[in-house]
Every structure is written in structure tokens, then in C-alpha cells.
Chain A
Amino acid sequence: MDKLWLGVAMLVGLAAPAWADVGQVKVVKGQVSIERKGQRLPAQVGMTLESADVLRTGADGAIGIAMRDDSRLSAGPNSVFALERFEFDATTSKGRFDSQLQRGTLAVVSGRIAKQSPQDMSVRTPTAVLGVRGTEFVVAVDE
């Protein structure tokens, strides 16, 4: 009986939306590109994101993204922000989210991964590692 129940739960799970992607671009202003597997794509609202994408904004650029765990990140002009690793199980809220601001400005609202387990989310700069115990903060990395 337990096994049957598990089978049904798995079927229902499979029917859930298949977010093969890790998040979505929600806001784009000015020049913004996304580096993916050696290619540079112009960022567009609605684009899906993949783990290891690198976002680059121009002098007039800004980008806002929403991740699958409901975390939201946005970068200002002249920024380079790398999604290094994103894994998320929507049922358990467990996952791992590591990113790095290499240059520029970033605003962060953490999501379900950090709420479930704060040590599973980190934002790095070239010299520091930030641990996320609460939800909203901003980071700047000087040139």
C-alpha cells in the first residue's frame, strides 16, 4: 500500500511544471547579455536561465531575475554576475545556490533554499564569501 502511494506521489510530481531551467529573466534595461556555453546572448525578458550563466550589464544596463526557489536578484550597470550553481527540489525546498558578483552592484532577496537551510546559499565576491541568514541585502564590487 505504501508503495502504491509512493507511485501516485511520483506521478503527481511528474505532472508538475518541468522547470529544466533554474530561473527566468523578469526585467531588462539597456544593454544586457548572458554568456552561456561560450556564447553571448542578448538578454530578453522571459528568457529562461541555466546554471553557470553569466550576466553582464552595460553602462546603461540593469537586469532582474527570479529563481525557481523564489529568490530574486538584480544587478545594476557595469556588472558581471555569475550563477555558479543552482539546484532545487520544489517539494522539499532543499537545494544549493552559489553565485558570484565579479563586478558592479547586486540586490538580493533570498528565497526558499536559504529559508530551509541558510548554509545552502552563498553569494561570493572575488575576495569574500557572504552567508545568507536573512533575506534582503545589497553588494557592490569595485573595479
Chain B
Amino acid sequence: MYNDIIIDNFSDPQNVGDLDGADHELEIGNPVCGDRIKVRLSFTNNHINKAVFRAWGCATSVATANIFCSSIEGKTVKDIAQRQPHELEAMLGELEPSQHHCLNILAELHEKLAAQMNIGVA
């Protein structure tokens, strides 16, 4: 079963797409479950003004990609890197044990974004 956050973000993901002339790209893959997510970003004045994704994976990981993209628009990478683990948990809502790996996916997206932009995570 999926919680309402996952259902909303999976059944009608608003941030799916490509971004011509993207300023930045992130790509992650989970070797265990095989999920793959690619995120493209564009910046304006140090703020992410657009974040889109492509994902091949389970319902929760597709939802996770959408949650990540929608949550970073309008923010600086520095702000995003400040997020605490409990905040990431709240972003996905209550998960079943089989869905917990998506928390790792969300954390990895944050870590990779911060690392690629040379900003330490919280």
C-alpha cells in the first residue's frame, strides 16, 4: 500500500520531463532494486528555477523523484543541503518496509546535488 503523498506524486507527477540547456544533471541508480533516476536542473541567481526528472523504477521511487524535484524549485543548493534526516522522512510520509529504500534514494539525491555543487550536507 502507498501513502497519500506517494499516491499523489506517482499518479500525476508534475515534474516529469526534459530540460534543454540544463545547467546541471544528477543521475542515480540503486544496484539492489534497479531503480534509475535522472534529474536536470536550471538555475537563476543561484536558485533552482526548474527541476525535472526521468525515472525507471517502482511507484515509490518515481514519486520520490517528483517529490525531490518539486521540493527544490525556488531554493538554493545551500538551503537544500541543510535538510535533516527527519525532514527527508516527512517528505515521503509513512513508508512500508519494502519502500524504505526510497528514503535512501531521496538522501542520495540530496547528497549528490550537494557534492556536485561542492556544498556539504547537513
Are A and B bound to each other?
Answer: no
